């Protein structure tokens, strides 16, 4: 009886176990690429409800820079842009995924902008040309950006067919995006992807 139960239950519980995957992004010399955004999108699209990430949907202006320089948010998210500097900043984008302009505002003030379209939003400030930031708007909960070792860990995927997308502002690909199909199995997976950077 025990053997029978094991034989039936074990494969079922394995199949239901969510997968975890480590992805490392390197450049063509093998050096880790940080702040690359890695996304795994189910082939049928994400139908699991609202997406929440473990970080704040906020892009601060600090020391005349957008911090963090790259922010991953779910499609539809409202992003806060707090100004932590003593000088005034604006925020604008000419990107296809979001065209907008927020007028100059000062220290300890904040503004907010929603991003209803998935894709890359390149940010600038009218006063400080060197200020660059990126909001990557995604349609999947299985997304994140690489750390200083070029590594991101994605968890909770059901086994199945996915599209893997890697985005980096300096990737030598149309739109800075590398895409490929990826079959996700149960358990742990590991992938290393080399990107050509400009």
CB of 93 to Cu ion, least distance (A): 14
Instruction: Kindly tell me which of 19 and 59 has the beta carbon lying closer to Cu ion.
Output: 59
**141-166: burial string, b at 16+ Cβ within 10 Å, e else:** bbbbbbeeebbbebeebebeebebbb
Least Å from the CB of residue 145 to Cu ion:
23
| Closest to 38 measured CA to CA, from 62, 21, 57, 58 | 21
Residue 89 sits in the site that holds Cu ion (CB under 5 A): yes
> CB-wise, 112 or 155, nearer to Cu ion?
112
Tokens read off for 176? 């800075």
Q: Note whether 132 binds Cu ion by CB under 5 A.
A: no
> Is 66 one of the binding residues for Cu ion (CB under 5 A)?
no
CA atoms within 13 A on the CB side of 127: 13
Tell me the C-alpha distance between 84 and 108, whole Å: 6
Residue 128 binds to Cu ion (criterion: CB under 5 A): yes
**From 33, 60, 79, 125, residue interacting with Cu ion (rule: CB under 5 A):** 125
Asked if residue 107 binds Cu ion (CB under 5 A), the reply is: no
User: What's the length of the chain?
Assistant: 198
Residue 28 CB, nearest approach to Cu ion (Å): 34
The residue (of 17 and 87) whose beta carbon lies closer to Cu ion is: 87
Whose Cβ is closer to Cu ion: residue 129's or residue 181's?
A: 129
Residue with the CB atom nearest Cu ion in the bound state: 125
Q: Give the binding range for Cu ion (CB under 5 A) out of 18-26, 30-38, 82-90, 138-146.
A: 82-90
**Nearest 10 degrees: CA dihedral of 65, 67, 70, 76?**
-120
Facing residues of 113 across strands? 79
Q: Which residue has tokens 């990737």?
A: 171
Report strand pairing: 119-123 vs 78-82. unpaired
Based on the shown chain and the rule CB under 5 A, indicate whether residue 62 belongs to the binding site for Cu ion. no
What are the beta bridge partners of residue 133? 123
Tell me how far, at minimum, the Cβ of 121 lies from Cu ion, in Å.
17
- Residue 127 binds to Cu ion (criterion: CB under 5 A): yes
Give contact residues for Cu ion (rule: CB under 5 A). 89, 125, 127-128
């Amino acid at each position: 009886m025990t053997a029978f139960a094991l034989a039936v239950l074990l494969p079922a519980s394995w199949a239901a176990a969510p997968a975890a995957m480590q992805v490392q992004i390197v450049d063509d010399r093998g050096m880790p690429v940080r702040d690359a955004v890695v996304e795994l999108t189910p082939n049928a699209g994400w139908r699991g409800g609202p997406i929440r990430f473990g970080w704040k949907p906020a892009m601060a202006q600090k020391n005349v820079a957008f911090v963090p320089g790259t922010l991953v948010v779910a499609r539809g998210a409202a992003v806060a842009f707090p100004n932590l500097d003593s000088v005034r900043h604006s925020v604008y984008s000419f990107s296809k995924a979001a065209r907008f302009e927020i007028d100059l505002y000062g220290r300890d003030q904040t503004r907010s902008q929603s991003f209803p379209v998935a894709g890359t939003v390149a940010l600038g400030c009218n006063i400080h040309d060197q200020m660059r930031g990126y909001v990557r708007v995604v349609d999947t909960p299985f997304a994140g950006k690489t750390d200083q070792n070029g590594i991101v860990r994605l968890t909770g995927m059901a086994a199945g067919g996915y599209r893997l997308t890697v985005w980096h502002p300096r990737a030598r690909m149309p739109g800075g995006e590398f895409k490929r199909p990826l079959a996700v199995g149960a358990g742990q997976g590991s992938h290393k992807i080399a990107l050509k950077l400009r």
